[in-house]
Amino acid sequence: MTDTNTMQELDIREKLAHIDEMLADIASKRQEIALAPARIEQMLADTLRKRQKVALAPWSMMLTFFAAGAGLFAAGAAFIKLIGG
């Protein structure tokens, strides 16, 4: 009889341990779900920031090319003036 009681007690302990493990898993999932809106907000902000950079990239590139062109034009004018033309 003691062996069956010991086996039943071990079985109950295993079941309780399993239930505790499941409860801990559920608690961690609840915490992840509670943090989900903050993650979504952060991802949305990152996406909007990247879209803004992409939208402004052509203008930035164009301004850079105009500045480089003006610099080359000024260098050419200075070179011609130096030569004496």
Q: Which amino acid is at 22?
A: M
The pLDDT of residue 71 is 96
C-alpha 44/C-alpha 42 separation (Å) is: 5
The pLDDT of residue 75 is 96
The pLDDT of residue 22 is 93
* Residue 36 in tokens: 């989900």
> Confidence class of residue 2 from pLDDT cuts 50, 70 and 90?
low
Kindly report the length of the chain: 85
Q: Which amino acid is at 66?
A: F
| pTM listed for this prediction | 0.43
As a whole number of Å, the end-to-end CA separation of the chain is 118
**pLDDT for 40-70, tens place per residue?**
888 899 999 999 888 888 999 999 999 999 9
Give the position of tokens 């164009």: 62
> Confidence class of residue 77 from pLDDT cuts 50, 70 and 90?
very high
